[in-house]
Homo-oligomer: A and B are copies of this chain.
Amino acid sequence: MGLSPKKMSMIESSLANSIPGQSVDCVIIRYKDRALQVLLLKLKNTELWTLPGGFIFKNEDIDDAAKRVVEERVGIKSIFLNQFYTFGKYNRRNIEQLMQLFDKMEMKKPFIMHWFTQRFITTAYLALVNTSKAILPQTEFLSSKCEWVPISDLPEFAFDHHKIIRKAHEHLRIQINYLPIGLNLLDETFTMKELKNLYEAILGVNLDRGNFQRKILKLNILIRLDKKFTGGAHKAPYLYRFDKKRYAELNRKGIGFIR
Contact surface of A with B, Cβ cutoff 8 Å: 19-22, 56, 58-63, 83, 85-86, 88-90, 119, 121, 123, 174-175, 178, 254, 256, 259
Contact = CB atoms under 8 A, between A and B. Distances in A.
B56 A88 contact: yes
Contact of A58 (B63, B119, B259): B119
A26 to B, nearest CB: 14
**6 closest A-B pairs (Cβ-Cβ)?**
A62-B88, A86-B86, A86-B123, A61-B89, A61-B90, A59-B90
Contacts of A89: 61-63
A247 to B, nearest CB: 18
A60 B121 CA distance: 11
B83 A63 contact: no
20 contacts: A19-B119, A19-B121, A20-B20, A20-B21, A21-B21, A22-B121, A56-B88, A58-B119, A59-B90, A60-B90, A62-B89, A62-B121, A63-B89, A83-B86, A86-B86, A88-B123, A121-B123, A174-B254, A254-B259, A256-B259
A175 B170 CA distance: 13
Contacts of A59: 90
A95 to B, nearest CB: 13
Most buried by B among A59, A62, A83, A175: A62
Given A119-B19, A178-B174, A63 B88 contact: yes
A66 B102 CA distance: 34
A251 B224 CA distance: 38
Nearest to A85: B83
Contacts of A178: 174
A21 B120 CA distance: 12
A96 B58 CA distance: 18
A89 B60 CA distance: 7
Given A19-B121, A254-B259, 9 more contacts: A19-B21, A19-B119, A20-B21, A21-B21, A58-B119, A61-B89, A88-B123, A121-B123, A174-B254
